[in-house]
Amino acid sequence: MCFQVNNDLVIRPYTPVSSDEEHGFFDLVVKVYFKNAHPMFPEGGKMTQYLDNMKLGERIHVRGPNGLLVYIGPSTFAIKPNKKALPDIRKAKKVGMIAGGSGLTPMYQLIKHALKNPADTTIFSLIYANQTPNDILCKDDLELWTRQYSDRLSVYYTVDRPDDTWKGGVGFVNADMIRAHLPASGSDTLVLMCGPPPMIKFACLPSLDTLGYTEQMRFVY
């Protein structure tokens, strides 16, 4: 999605949470980052605030779909190493997922699509990291799915700053967390990651290296 402000073009990628089978529209989950809400980003999110202020009937430029991963299903992925390359076909009966904040959206779309297909027996395990419990997106849907499809989906939540009522995990994603809540490395395992770049670079990838996940067993959105 893109818009222009003060002669600057603002472009941000988003993953729809609606299905490709739903024609004529798509749904987005957008977390609005307001001004002065974070000391490191005093201006807030340009795109999210723009979307938040849009009025009914206004338009915004959209292009796509783009991306390097396509779920062919069941348990089959087409993954391109780059946009111009032909896709590699990978089979994974066990899919681990690590999402941070709004990085949940590609995981949400994939889980939703796979679970509604009774012929798809892929097992999904998600670690979902946020700063606080209030930052967790789509929790009602995730909780509903874990109850309805308990043999196919598990979700582990972890936060940096818990409140007094929090009963989930605490702290950054680490090797112990991955070992406990994601499928072990193996030829039928694939780990998908989406979140803030520091989380991926300094927490997820080193932990996967420690636990023996090869490059073929991982993908970063």
**Per-domain boundaries in the chain:** 1-65, 69-220
With beta carbons less than 8 A apart as the criterion, state whether 144 and 101 touch: no
pLDDT of residue 140: 98
- How far from 219 is each of 9, 26, 91, 120, 153, CA to CA, in Å? 29, 24, 13, 21, 19
The structure's pTM equals 0.92
CA angle in degrees (0–180, nearest 5) for 139-134-166: 85
**pLDDT tens-digit map of 116-151:** 999 999 999 999 999 999 999 999 999 999 999 999
pLDDT of residue 146: 98
pLDDT of residue 20: 83
CATH superfamily of 1-65: Translation factors (2.40.30.10)
Q: Domain 69-220 belongs to what topology?
A: Rossmann fold (3.40.50)
Cite the annotated binding site by residue number.
12-14, 29, 31, 34, 46-47, 105
Cite the annotated binding site for FAD by residue number.
12-14, 29, 31, 34, 46-47, 105
Contacts 24+ apart (CB under 8 A), 66-70: 66/13, 67/15, 67/221, 68/219, 69/192, 69/219, 69/221
pLDDT of residue 185: 98
Stretches where the chain sits below pLDDT 70 are none
Q: How many CB atoms within 10 Å of residue 205?
A: 15
pLDDT of residue 19: 86
Count how many residues are written for the chain: 221
pLDDT of residue 41: 82
pLDDT of residue 55: 96
- How far from 5 is each of 32, 59, 184, CA to CA, in Å? 18, 14, 47
With beta carbons less than 8 A apart as the criterion, state whether 108 and 138 touch: yes
